[in-house]
Amino acid sequence: MHRQQSLFDYWTQENNDLVKICKKHEGQKAVGPHLTSDFQKLLRKIQGVPPETDHAQLELSVVYNACICFIAQSQFTEAELLLKQAAERTLQMKGESLCQLDAPIVWMTAVKSVKNTALHRFLLFLPCLQWAIWLATCQLKPIEDFQETSLFEAIIGGVGGEFGEHAKEKFRIVPTLVMDPKRLVELLQICSVIAQGAEKLNEGRGSEALPRLQAASKLPAPKALVAYTHLLSGSCLTHMNCPQMALQCYKKALETDAQCVYALHQSSRIYSELGNAQAEIQALHILHLTLLLPSSAEPSTAGVHLLSPFLLLASQSLKNLLSVPSPLSVLHKLALKCILNIRVPEGVKHYLDLLAALHSEDHHGVKVHSEFSTLPRLPKLYLEAAVALLMAQRPADSMALCTEVIETTLELLPEKLVIEEPEEGSEALTQGMREEGEGTLAVFLWAAAAYLLQGHCYSQLKDWKQAVTHYTRCVNMLVKVHFKRKDVQTEVSKAGRHLSQTADLHILQRLKGLSLAGRGISFSQMDHLKEALRDLQLSLQAVPEGIGAGLWCGEVLWRLDRKREAAARSDVSLPTVGLPLYAQEPSFGPSLDPTELRHRIQKLGPV
């Protein structure tokens, strides 16, 4: 007996040595497979002798440690097998047999068999591992059923510490554990609420998830997980159409964890929906800076070093809620918002930073916390940046970016492009051809927009002849695109906007209208009034809502002494939401004061 006791002391010391090695891995993502193998070898030695109550705690300690290591390495099948064997050995020790396969019933039977013994409190540790496996494998229904059992209540109320005084008196060397069971239960509690809340949100049942999430925010847990409960509460309130209350939850998430990038992202989206552009810009700026930090998307796991919350929170519903754009995508959105809200110096700086990052040798090393990027194609970024530089009165820099776009795209373009509308029933056959045609159309639009912006640059420099030349190049580029419908080929300019079924074709019309308007205005500055009137009228045919073309058409008519026609010229404007920056009405170049024209018209009397 003494010899057997010495053997168990030796095995206990071996377990404790392995636990020491394991705890050295704190902060690392996983434990090496060699450590798991060592725990398995030790367990096989212990299980080589018949199960006895006196030494069961050592065996169950090693089972617990080995299972934690298996789960940390996502080896869930192996962990479940060890747990089943442990339940069988416990029942065998009490002279009972395993006749149920359902995990909660197995563990309730095993725990009941050792009730009022020293093993009872300790055996409660092991069902927690089955709980962890369900959570890591996204099996939320078994967890919900488990939470309704008396065993779950016993675990919540009875798990804590490693061994009591009785164990310390009985064992010369006390077996140690790789992870405090109380910490494990706390981690499982909050992770379960988060995973279940995300699933309910995905199913449109946010109002059901909200009370539990709010209660979970008071649980003892790593600050990043508490921040998640506030974040999901905010998402529930967003779905319940309570944006202001959602913003308060996102604020709490950030106060809990300053690097909660998801709360910043969701806040910026709500500010956008509320039309609070300045708050949105501020949120995007902070989000971009936070995304560049080394570990902004990795929650602190102090005290739970072995089982990462990421391992337990693997559901797709949660991943969708916790997705954010890449840092460069956020920087692009920030630059665009600044320009659209007349914060031009900031917008220019952000665009130049974005282009520099894209061209730097190490931009692929920039940390990206998401699986998606919303960045436009590089030529579009160049064109947007060119508009920003024009707004900042930097025409030379703007022209350089446009030249880069032109030089890159011209060699890719055919002499003309015919876009065919597919016949009914032929979509599958024409899908590849249509995608290829639309891709070529986009390249045409980039080149045309670059010429348009160069025309704006020369207009800003008051070099009207060069401005006319580049506006003409834009028009010549656009008329190479033809739209074919019902075997009748027609230019887009003649087909009319009712044929423009895609966003690209609508942009084409906009670019044509803007280039004709720009050329007409340039002609007016050179006193070529007939040519100016022709182009301005053509511009209004292409884009009837053109504000600049309407005003300048009235001005040219007035200067041609056609004052009654000028008075009849209305300047109706329509919104341009959704258009690229380079296809919107320019806010630079020659301008007219509409009140002056109206004042002159009023002097004429009734039209």
Structural domain boundaries enclosing 111: 7-162+172-179
**Parallel, antiparallel, or unpaired for β 481-485 and 488-491?**
antiparallel
- Output phi, psi for 108, to 5 deg: -65, -40
How far apart CA 475 and CA 71 sit, in angstroms, is 65
The answer as to whether 515 is a domain residue is yes
Angle at 569 between CA 565 and CA 571, to 5 degrees: 170
Do 62 and 209 lie in a common domain? no
The pLDDT value recorded for residue 410 is: 87
Do 129 and 54 lie in a common domain? yes
The answer as to whether 62 is a domain residue is yes
In angstroms, the first-to-last Cα distance of the chain is 119
- CATH number for the domain spanning 452: value is 1.25.40.10
The answer as to whether 155 is a domain residue is yes
Do 211 and 316 lie in a common domain? yes
Specify the DSSP class assigned to residue 489.
E
How far apart CA 280 and CA 9 sit, in angstroms, is 63
Residue 292 in contact with residue 327, Cβ under 8 Å?
yes
pTM (predicted TM-score):
0.82
| CA-closest candidate to residue 265, choices 236, 297, 240 | 297
* Sign of CA pseudo-dihedral 288, 292, 295, 297: positive
**Helices 378-391 & 344-359, crossing angle to 10 degrees?**
150
Can you name the residues that pair with 484 across neighbouring β-strands?
420, 489
pLDDT averaged over 10-residue windows placed end to end, the chain, 607 residues: 67 89 64 81 84 78 91 91 85 69 72 71 84 93 89 76 50 81 92 94 92 93 93 95 96 92 95 95 94 65 67 89 90 96 95 92 45 77 96 95 93 83 45 52 93 96 96 94 61 43 80 94 93 92 84 86 74 61 82 66 58
Do 147 and 206 lie in a common domain? no
Do 32 and 83 lie in a common domain? yes
Do 583 and 452 lie in a common domain? yes
Do 158 and 198 lie in a common domain? no
Q: Which of 147, 179, 211 is the last residue of a domain?
A: 179
The pLDDT value recorded for residue 263 is: 94
Other Cβ atoms closer than 10 A to 480: 16
Do 413 and 559 lie in a common domain? yes
| Contacts with 575 (C-beta within 8 Å, 6 or more apart), sequence order | none
The answer as to whether 381 is a domain residue is no
The pLDDT value recorded for residue 459 is: 94
The answer as to whether 427 is a domain residue is no
Sequential DSSP letters for 138-160 = T-HHHHHHHTTSHHHHHHHHH--
For the record, the structure tokens of 467 come out as 């401005």
How far apart CA 544 and CA 524 sit, in angstroms, is 20
Do 524 and 415 lie in a common domain? yes
Do 17 and 111 lie in a common domain? yes
Do 247 and 124 lie in a common domain? no
How far apart CA 333 and CA 277 sit, in angstroms, is 12
The answer as to whether 106 is a domain residue is yes
For the record, the structure tokens of 32 come out as 């090496």
The pLDDT value recorded for residue 98 is: 61
The pLDDT value recorded for residue 322 is: 87
The number of folded domains in the chain is 3
Our separate counts of H helices and E strands in the chain read 30, 3
Do 146 and 201 lie in a common domain? no
Angle at 369 between CA 363 and CA 372, to 5 degrees: 85
Instruction: Give rounded-to-5 percent helix, strand, coil for the chain.
Output: 70, 0, 30
Burial of 313 (0-12, 13-18, 19+ CB in 10 A): buried
